[in-house]
Chains A and B, each alone.
Chain A
Amino acid sequence: MSNDAKRKVASVHSEDALVAAERILPLKRTLLALVRDRVALAGLIIVSVLVFIAVLAPVLSVQDPYDLAQLDIMDGRLPPSSTSMTGTVYLLGTDDQGRDLFSAIMYGLRTSILVGLVSAAIALVIGASIGLFSAYAGGRVDALLMRIVDIQLSFPAILVALIFLAILGQGVDKIIIALVVTQWAYYARTVRGSALVESRRAYTDAARSMALSDKRIIFRHILPNCVPPLIVVATMRVAYAIMLEATLSFLGIGLPVTEPSLGLLISNGFEYLLSGDYWISFFPGITLLMLIVGINLIGDALRDILNPRQEG
């Protein structure tokens, strides 16, 4: 075999190898890329640890911070790693009511993550449906829906949430409703945008020319191709929802004092900050910060990975 011919064979093989390397499902490919990206991996680790703590809060905590009977007002505002009279070690200190901060943070995380995820999921389903419908209907319906989205987005989310909570009152369910109301528009706009792009691509035309039903075209062809941008938006929005909930709780209109979330914990310690009892606000604040940054790091990496232009 001549040198040339050998090289030809070699390059044919390397092409096959290339193709073989790409024979990985999109989900797996995304996860692999996430783990390979160092920054994203850091975010992934932070978020995993925090979620782990939140899920196992009842096992890991030394006391149930919601059970007022377990609190001892005499242990109020103890600095980190002090010991109570009964021998309990308060790793991160206690708040003014003698609540163990470490336990409170774990339970607070639970609430924060739950509220963030549930509200984002509901907002995603509602928003994506409206966005898809808007793109599909087109014309006046589309224009009307998108103007509603514009109006919704032109009000600061915090203001809308404040109004809703003022009407609905406090509670986990109420705050989820308020968060959904402020978030759905982002999903609607994202999905509508990508659905419009996808519906103009040739494969949608191909599907139409094969006389497939509208339902099939929308749910089998258009929607799956709108998922990547949706995942990115959803990740970022979960972080935003958690932050918004913390803000509302901080302002005292989010969750009740009996179920402290991270925002409420920060607010509780706020008045003691200047008197030197920094830990009551500081540790919940740091936890919140890590959670938000972690999610955002993942979101940023996802945006790069799922960028359709870089897809094979």
Chain B
Amino acid sequence: MSEPILSISGLTTEFKVGKEWRDVIRNVNLDIHQGETVAVVGESGSGKSVTAMSVMRLLGSNARSSGKILFEGQDLLGLTQEAMQTVRGNRIGMIFQEPMTSLNPVLKIGEQITEVLMEHRGLEHRAALAEAERLLEKVRIPSARQRLNEYPLSFSGGMRQRVVIAIALACEPKLLIADEPTTALDVTIQAQILELIKALQQEEGMAVLFITHDMGVVAEISDRTAVMFRGDVVETGLTEQIFRQPAHPYTRALLAAVPQLGSMNGQSLPLRFPIVDMATGQIEPVKPTVDTVRNDADPVLKVERLVTRFPVKKGILRRTVGNIHAVEDVSFEVREGETLSLVGESGCGKSTTGRSILRLTDPTSGRVTIQQRDVVSADKQELAVIRREAQMIFQDPFESLNPRLRVGDAIAEPMVAHGLAGASDVGERVGKLLEKVGLSPSMADRFPHEFSGGQRQRVCIARALALDPKMIVADESVSALDVSIKAQVINLLLDLQEQLGLGYLFISHDMAVVERISHRVAVMYMGEIVEIGPRQAVFENPQHPYTRKLMAAVPIADPTRKRVRQISNDEIRTPYREAGFVPPSREYLKIGEDHFVLGRKQERAA
């Protein structure tokens, strides 16, 4: 094999904490050859980004690295910061996670690209402009010439990430470092960007160091993989090898926790994630799921023709010029012990639906009944009763707990406020709730910042259970968590459903998680439900074009099935409409038992 382009050996990076140096990554060894993609995968805090930043020497003065980083035979650690400038952005390109902040908002796209070209490649302005256009075409941005004159604000997240890639490619780098480049993007856009990086790599023959937490993405894109865990590379090898025969217990745990789309074909009930014993590496058998759906009783939640629009006002008179049709004519039911998942991409209205149901956002029209009580017309007292029946768990466990309240008080508060517990027994009940979600009662007097993300989400679940609800709306409740933690929380939700017969409205963008947890699935697009039905039917026999597109975009955690996908470069459209817009009438076609797909008259004609 030829000499590697980048060869990292014995890399240790330490950060100064107070007066002492604490190592964040230890003895990292990694080689990347030309034309090869190496993925560094790990959960938050594993040191994968620090590794990339160490290579680029982008860490501040409170960090120091030792070891060797040979790039084309030159030790980067021995270079001065000035000498690094000629390497960074020139011979090594970099893409970051957040496309919204990595472009300068006050400079035109064209200027930002030509700047790099003139600085690093010494091109004349005119030549640079032509080259910039070529680069934009290279990253498949349509009508590149016009778009050079636009500002970043008129570019969507995916388009911005393309521009960032174009800038990274400007100097024809030998190595591209991509630090979670698709994490902030929607799944269909992620698929587009992944395809783009793959195609560009073949065209340019560069090496790619790809940092990600998502095993699905790893399987899609990488030739070789390094798994990091708490600052150590615990396993390196060919991606296929690692997926087939993971050697380290952590890799096994990570892979067991990865939700795999299609892994549940033929299975109609939800399924828990297998949990790996970290010490022995043994996979514990999965407890079979009990059928919890109560078809005999009335549904706990009934939503009929729910509409929520947000007016867009302009001018000094604040005239309504249009509406964001966040939720349009949405109807569904959730039964006791049933999980209905609302899936879709950002801006599709799934969160607004959840908020409208609990009246955290006031719906425009429609009927919502929770336990036979009308929510939309409820007054304050009535609403208080309803909100005891239906609780919400939010996305960000760091945000949804009051930082100045001990978690015990946070869990006790709803019980005390609703008179469900007195001073004498409230402590005991808090302890029981904490135990129920897998925490220890002694943690009650801690503050939220003393917990990890997964633990905080457990606290939020305990708080939601405090009022003994029949129904829980979980709005992206596991999206912010690491894979292994995500698996544990999903398992907890399934346990609680069996014990308490809870109905879940599970709002998520993550198709693979949805496949695990749901009984039924509703796919939302532009404020409408485009397809709804039993999970098995929707996943195994998707009918609506958007559902199919969504399924095709989910990265599959199986490197042997690496495929070249035909991904259209469509953007996600916004549901903004002029004032006075009357939505066309909807008609749902019955595909199978309980399985419906949205069809419009013109669509069927076409």
Contact = CB atoms under 8 A, between A and B. Distances in A.
B399 interface: yes
Interface in A1-44: 4-5, 7-8, 11, 19, 22-23, 26
Contacts of A23: 446, 450
B439 interface: no
B360 A225 contact: no
Contact of A210 (B231, B279, B396, B414): B414
Given A22-B449, A312-B449, A206 B413 contact: no
B387 interface: yes
A212 interface: yes
Given A19-B450, A205-B394, A224-B404, A211 B387 contact: yes
B536 interface: no
A154 interface: no
A222 to B, nearest CB: 9
A67 interface: no
Interface string B410-451: 000110011000000000000000000000000000100110
A86 interface: no
A147 interface: no
B522 interface: no
B404 A26 contact: yes
A78 to B, nearest CB: 53
Contacts of B496: none
B446 A205 contact: no
Contacts of B400: 202-203, 205-206
Given A209-B391, A211-B383, A202 B399 contact: yes
A203 B401 contact: yes
A258 interface: no
Contacts of B402: 203, 207, 220-221, 224-225
A63 to B, nearest CB: 49
Contacts of B418: 211
B73 interface: no
Interface in A196-241: 201-203, 205-213, 216, 220-221, 224-225
Contacts of B414: 210-212
A2 B531 CA distance: 52
A283 to B, nearest CB: 42
B401 A211 contact: no
Given A209-B360, A225-B402, A311-B403, A4 B232 contact: yes
B459 to A, nearest CB: 11
Contacts of A221: 402, 405
A213 B449 contact: no
Contacts of B358: 209
A142 to B, nearest CB: 15
Interface string B203-237: 00000000000000000000000000011101000
Q: Interface on chain A toward B: helix, strand, loop, or mixed SS?
A: helix
B449 A216 contact: no
Nearest to A5: B279
Contacts of B383: 211
B392 A206 contact: yes
A224 B401 CA distance: 13
B392 A213 contact: no
B450 A210 contact: no
B388 A208 contact: no
Contacts of B446: 23
Given A8-B230, A23-B450, A210 B467 contact: yes
A209 B387 contact: yes
Given A4-B234, A23-B446, A206-B463, A212 B403 contact: no
Given A8-B230, A22-B449, A23-B450, A210 B394 contact: no
Name, among A7, A202, A208, A216, the residue most crowded by chain B CB atoms within 10 Å (CB to CB): A202
A5 B395 CA distance: 33
B384 interface: yes
A212 B404 contact: no
B53 to A, nearest CB: 20
B392 A205 contact: yes
Contacts of B388: 211
A213 B399 contact: no
Nearest to B449: A312
Given A209-B358, A210-B414, A225 B395 contact: no
Name, among A201, A205, A208, A210, the residue most crowded by chain B CB atoms within 10 Å (CB to CB): A210
Nearest to A201: B399
Contacts of A4: 232, 234
Contacts of A212: 413-414, 417
B460 interface: yes
A91 B364 CA distance: 77
Nearest to B414: A210
Contacts of A210: 387, 391, 413-414, 417, 463, 466-467
Nearest to A203: B402
Interface string B222-254: 000000001110100000000000000000000
A206 B417 contact: no
Name, among B26, B360, B391, B404, the residue most crowded by chain A CB atoms within 10 Å (CB to CB): B404
B136 to A, nearest CB: 36
Contact of B394 (A7, A8, A206): A206
B21 to A, nearest CB: 14
A203 to B, nearest CB: 5
A311 B449 contact: yes
A201 B405 CA distance: 15
Name, among A7, A22, A203, the residue most crowded by chain B CB atoms within 10 Å (CB to CB): A203
A30 B279 CA distance: 40
Nearest to B400: A202
Nearest to B413: A212
Given A205-B360, A206-B394, A210-B387, A7 B232 contact: yes
Interface of A: 4-5, 7-8, 11, 19, 22-23, 26, 201-203, 205-213, 216, 220-221, 224-225, 311-312
- The 7 A-B pairs with the shortest beta carbon distances in the complex, nearest first, are A211-B387, A202-B400, A211-B384, A202-B399, A312-B449, A210-B414, A209-B392
11 contacts: A5-B279, A8-B230, A22-B449, A23-B446, A206-B401, A206-B463, A210-B414, A210-B467, A220-B405, A224-B402, A225-B404
